[in-house]
């Protein structure tokens, strides 16, 4: 079991991060909540990790805060939710915001997260209401790859599609969110906020 990694950040392109630990490059998937606060490429980073093994694959997920990892693990205990939706939840809302949505039974806002329908949102509220209290209390720049153009709007669009939003939704969200001078991170942050309204 790998619980934490500390090394040099060598690659970051949502949802992927590669951390070099003494010459071994660990590839991790991470939510946007972690991407927002990552250091620049070449800088040291420490991540809490979640190791998942299935019959045909092994995955490693990275989080800057333990509260994010706890939410990621807890939501997957809800029937019908896997790692992809858990990452989408953390990408669309902060830990505190997610806790507030669950505590106030805001099923409508939860259904705006890709992959969550009304019944799943209701299950999240019922099954996690008691757990999110402790998580909320505990929780007191994106890079470019050669494969993705350096245009912030394109970069934001690619990231949102990888989070599960449909191309039509992405086009609308990005069009409404993008303002002159915004970098990709700012566009993604505003688009995800708008998606939850």
Q: Is residue 169 part of a domain?
A: yes
Provide the token pair at 124.
């999240």
Last residue of one domain, picked from the residues 63, 83, 104: 63
Q: Is residue 185 part of a domain?
A: yes
Q: Cα–Cα distance between 28 and 40 in angstroms, integer?
A: 16
Domain check: are 107 and 57 in the same one?
no
Specify the CATH number for the domain of residue 116. 1.10.150.20
Q: Residue 102: which domain range?
A: 66-138
pLDDT score, position 26: 95
Q: With a cut of 50, list the residues of the chain below it in pLDDT.
A: 137-149
pTM of the model: 0.68
Q: Collapsing DSSP states into helix, strand and coil, what is residue 190?
A: helix
pLDDT score, position 59: 92
Q: Is residue 145 part of a domain?
A: no
86 alpha carbon, distance to own chain's centre: 8
Q: Cα–Cα distance between 113 and 196 in angstroms, integer?
A: 7
Last residue of one domain, picked from the residues 63, 83, 100: 63
Q: What are phi and psi of 19, to 5 degrees?
A: -115, 125
pLDDT score, position 145: 33
pLDDT score, position 64: 93
Domain check: are 59 and 71 in the same one?
no
Domain check: are 59 and 70 in the same one?
no
Specify the CATH number for the domain of residue 191. 1.10.8
pLDDT score, position 186: 86
Domain check: are 74 and 120 in the same one?
yes
Q: Are strands 44-53 and 4-13 parallel, antiparallel or unpaired?
A: antiparallel
Total structural domains within the chain: 3
* CA atoms lying within 13 Å on the CB side of residue 168: 0
pLDDT score, position 133: 60
Domain check: are 96 and 132 in the same one?
yes
Domain check: are 44 and 95 in the same one?
no
Domain check: are 86 and 56 in the same one?
no
Domain check: are 88 and 59 in the same one?
no
């Amino acid at each position: 079991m790998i619980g934490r990694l500390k090394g040099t950040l060598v690659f970051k392109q949502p949802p992927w991060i590669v951390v070099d630990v003494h010459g071994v490059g660990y590839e991790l998937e991470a939510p946007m909540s972690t991407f927002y606060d990552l250091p620049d490429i070449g800088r040291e980073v420490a991540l809490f990790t979640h190791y998942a093994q299935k019959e045909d694959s092994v995955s490693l997920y990275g989080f800057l805060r333990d509260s994010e990892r706890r939410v990621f693990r807890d939501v997957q205990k809800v029937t019908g939710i896997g790692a992809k939706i858990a990452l989408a939840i953390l990408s669309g809302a902060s830990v505190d915001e997610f806790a507030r949505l669950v505590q106030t039974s805001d099923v409508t806002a939860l259904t705006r997260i890709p992959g969550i329908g009304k019944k799943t949102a209701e299950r999240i509220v019922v099954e996690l209401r008691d757990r999110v209290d402790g998580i909320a209390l505990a929780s007191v720049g994106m890079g470019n790859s050669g494969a993705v153009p350096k245009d912030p709007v394109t970069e934001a669009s690619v990231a949102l599609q990888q989070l599960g939003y449909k191309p039509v939704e992405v086009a609308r969200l990005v069009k409404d969110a993008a303002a002159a001078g915004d970098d990709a991170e700012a566009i993604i942050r505003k688009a995800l906020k708008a998606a939850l309204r």
